[in-house]
Amino acid sequence: MPSLHLTRDEAATRSALITVHTHDVRLDLTGAQAQDASTFGTISEIRFDCARAGSATFLDFIGVSVEDVELNGRSLPVADVVDGQRIHLPGLAARNRVRVRATGRYSRSGEGLHRFVDPADGRVYLYTQNEPADCCRVFPDFEQPDLKARFALHVAAPADWVVRGNGVETCADADTGTGTGVVRHFAPTEPISTYLVAVLAGPYHRVDAEHTVATADGPLRIPLATFCRASLAEHLDAERIADVTRAGLDHYHERFGFPYPFGKYDQAFVPEYNLGAMENPGLVTFTEAFVFRTEATDAQYQARANVIMHEMAHMWFGDLVTMRWWDDLWLKESFADFMGSAVLADTGLYPGAWVTFANRRKAWAYVQDALPTTHPIVADIVDLDAAKQNFDGITYAKGAAVLKQLVAFVGRDAFDAAARAYFRAHAWGNTTLADFLAALSTASGRDMRAWAAAWLQTAGISTVSAERGGPGDTVRLRQSGADPVSGGPALRPHALVVGAYRQDPDGRLRAAARVSAELVGSSVDVAVPGSVDAPLLLPNDGDLTYATVALDPVSLATVLDRVEDIEDEMARTVCWSALWAMTRDARLPADRYVRTVARAGAAETDDGVRQMLFSQALTAATRYTPPAGRPALLKVLLDALAEQVLSTGSLTFARLFAVAAAHGGGQEELLEALVRPISDSSTFGDSVSDFSTSGSSTSDSSTSGDPTALASSGDSTALASLAGNQDLRWSVLLALAARGAISADRIEAELARDDTADGRRHALTARSARPGPAVKQEVWDSVTGDEGLSNDLLSASVRGFALIDAVTAEPFVEPYFASVADWWSDRSIEMATRLVRGLYPPVQDLTPGTDPEDHPVAVRTQAWLDANPEAPAALRRILIEEQDSLLRALRAQAAG
């Protein structure tokens, strides 16, 4: 079902005309448990004022049908006023009451009211996901963020179900309509936007807790509750989640000085979720991927804690104070992304949170900002399709990085004071950039408009470098950059640190000097003691600013040869980021980057950093390396990972090994060992050394394992533990399936032992990954023809399909370009995006001696763009980005 179409101009016209006061919403979910349930009843009663009596406006609704519309006591002819997604309301009075009775459709795409049947026990679960504009799939409304209202929900559902809303349940009574359900009534909310309205319904497992925080008005008791599907109850570590939640609530109350305004704090982990989480006030929803059904890594726990803190920040940035329109999405997402890492670091829950941010989130931002579709943090969002596309690495990660730079620029105290003033001035209202700048200028004592113009209203990445050779220890810091949107230069004010690193007696590279500096124009001279002959001179030491670091020749050689010797974790991360930027820009051969990661990546101490480095190395090996060199380079990477698996039994490295192995590289015996039946006593041989040389010999001595050392440092218990990890087993089976090394029967056998929602998704990916034209055609027909596939199952199939070679992919190129427009018009934006991105012709090979721009897929993409200038901007954006990613890979291949 297509998505809502609403432009910024239409929204502005409507908000100038009406003021919304209350929504009274009734949902009938009593039939949701029926096997073929696809619809639900919905009634929406709205009270609003009109600035010009006699004018007309419209409601938004995407559903099955509208049964009746009543405006100010008079019935309106449905055939006359319902026009597609709009319900027209003519002849408005100064004060109005509209009541609409309609039939909604349960979602399979994760948009609106999603329905899921648990294969483990057949139970039905419902939840809503409404951002940016899908509340109108649940009930008729005014779907825009600046028409806030108080929402009172009344939900009829089976008597034994858990039902939750934004507000607390006030009472319940028998459902007189069916006689089999109960109607729960929920307290009206404070004024919130439609995209924040939430409902949870089903036989959810529930764990209650509470927390009391100190406020200026005395202790504030906040009831806490955690929810998940009943079949996941044994895996829900609710107390650990509650501990993180308590730490966050304490921190935000102290930092923001504004009491948590939404009463209770529910957190629900739900199936087939499109996002990491959603900040519904009083009822935060998360992907149930954060319920760890097998052993989890430190990186997974940190990621979940980060998301918990991110969503909690939204209770203030986004829910209490909301952007007027999606242009200022950054006013909530950049701030929440920043706070997610800041709180983990400040509370000590994860002291290295900023290292993880620098390595993972900023890497996302740098990739997004290098695309031809980049945009300023404060974006130009003309309609809801554009809004959906702008939940991206600019709005989230770049915005967060720039806020980190802002704190370095004005100081933490001024930043926090601005936030407190902003909340006090605009509570329950809507704001724009100008409102936050006013608070920031007052708190900092500076006019922040120039800073905002440079950082928030231009696009692109600055490059900072440090040149030696000035008088004494003088270092010349330089910045360069251009705004790819305007084409003009982009010089930004950078508050940063320059570090000079020297070798100490134990061979480690430590900072001999760190000097703070402000780089406002194109250059500035800074005295950095010991910089003249320092092996490493690091601009942006500490990662305070958002910029690509260009290392001088001496420093680059040091980093390539001995990055693992740099003692400071953040300094290493800045160096790794510089190497990856060079690799992506074809200024460093992919081979050199992969071999550097294979040698030094495992020495990193942060789980998330290791994951990112080896994932980037895999991209370099499979996409940026010429076809002839891929097998050898994949082998280097896979052997390095196998050595870590064998010597440490690390789950992180085992998962990375399985992902890389899907692309080839040998190590068949280790793959098989990781999925042999646990009951097989002979599974792991006499010692780990059985696998140390099997398929893993390499001329690169830095990545080859010493069998004696491996045998003495590892044991069969470690591999046995890994083989018992069900999610890892699926990853390994996926690798074997992609290689054509297992049959469909073997996949079905594994599904029989793990017939769960996760198991079915993994099995579908493995089936789809098998090589051969017939398999890939079957997958193509399924994902493009079966509109009944849920969001998760569609993505699972597409993920497997993407493990395909260029030759097998060639017959799907023309059908892809012939279909993208229809996918976009016929499906919701969520599902269409998965198809358009996921089925774009995958890894392509550059024929030696040819120009990347002449590659057939690049040419075909450009032909489509030229022939479809009026296609939806969001669709064109995806194709432009995919073409750019392809050309970047081909240029790297051309550079060798």
The DSSP-derived string for 100-111 is EEEEEE-BSSSS
Residues contacting residue 219 through CB under 8 Å, at least 6 positions apart: 212, 213
SS3 call for 23: strand
Apex 388 CA angle, 383 and 393, nearest 5: 125
Q: How many helices (H) and strands (E) does the chain have?
A: 31, 29
Rounded CA-CA distance 168/279 in Å is: 17
Name the helix (H) or strand (E) containing 89: strand 86-89
Other beta carbons within 10 Å of 644: 22
Query: Which residue type does 852 have?
Result: P
Query: Which residue type does 136 have?
Result: C
Rounded CA-CA distance 812/784 in Å is: 12
Rounded CA-CA distance 877/871 in Å is: 10
SS3 call for 673: helix
Residue 326 and residue 381 in contact, taking contact as beta carbons nearer than 8 Å? yes
Residues contacting residue 342 through CB under 8 Å, at least 6 positions apart: 353, 354, 404
Active site residue: 311, 643, 830, 881, which one? 311
Rounded CA-CA distance 858/853 in Å is: 6
What are the C-alpha distances in Å from 178 to residues 29, 30, 854?
Answer: 11, 8, 65
Rounded CA-CA distance 225/207 in Å is: 6
Match 């084409």 to its residue by tokens.
Answer: 487
In the residue annotation, 311 being an active-site residue is answered as: yes
Rounded CA-CA distance 551/579 in Å is: 9
The DSSP-derived string for 402-463 is HHHHHHHHH-HHHHHHHHHHHHHHHTTSEE-HHHHHHHHHHHHTS--HHHHHHHTS--S--E
Alpha helix ranges (H) inside 269-329: 298-314
Q: Give me the sign of the Cα torsion angle 272, 275, 276, 282.
A: negative
Rounded CA-CA distance 128/153 in Å is: 13
Rounded CA-CA distance 463/470 in Å is: 20
Q: 313-338: string of b/e by CB count within 10 Å (b at 16+)?
A: bbbbbbbbbbbbbbbbbbbbbbbbbb
Rounded CA-CA distance 472/525 in Å is: 11
Q: If you count them, how many residues does the chain have?
A: 896
Nearest C-alpha neighbor of 335 from the set 351, 316, 350, 353? 316
Rounded CA-CA distance 283/210 in Å is: 15
Residue 755 and residue 791 in contact, taking contact as beta carbons nearer than 8 Å? no
Rounded CA-CA distance 767/737 in Å is: 7
Pairing relationship of beta strands 265-270 and 218-228 according to DSSP bridges: parallel
Match 């120039």 to its residue by tokens.
Answer: 450
Nearest C-alpha neighbor of 237 from the set 269, 211, 202? 269
φ and ψ of 661, to 5 deg = -65, -20
Pairing relationship of beta strands 463-467 and 548-550 according to DSSP bridges: parallel
Other beta carbons within 10 Å of 91: 14
CA-based diameter of the chain, in Å?
Answer: 88
Residues contacting residue 336 through CB under 8 Å, at least 6 positions apart: 279, 310, 311, 313, 314, 317, 318
Catalytic residues: 311
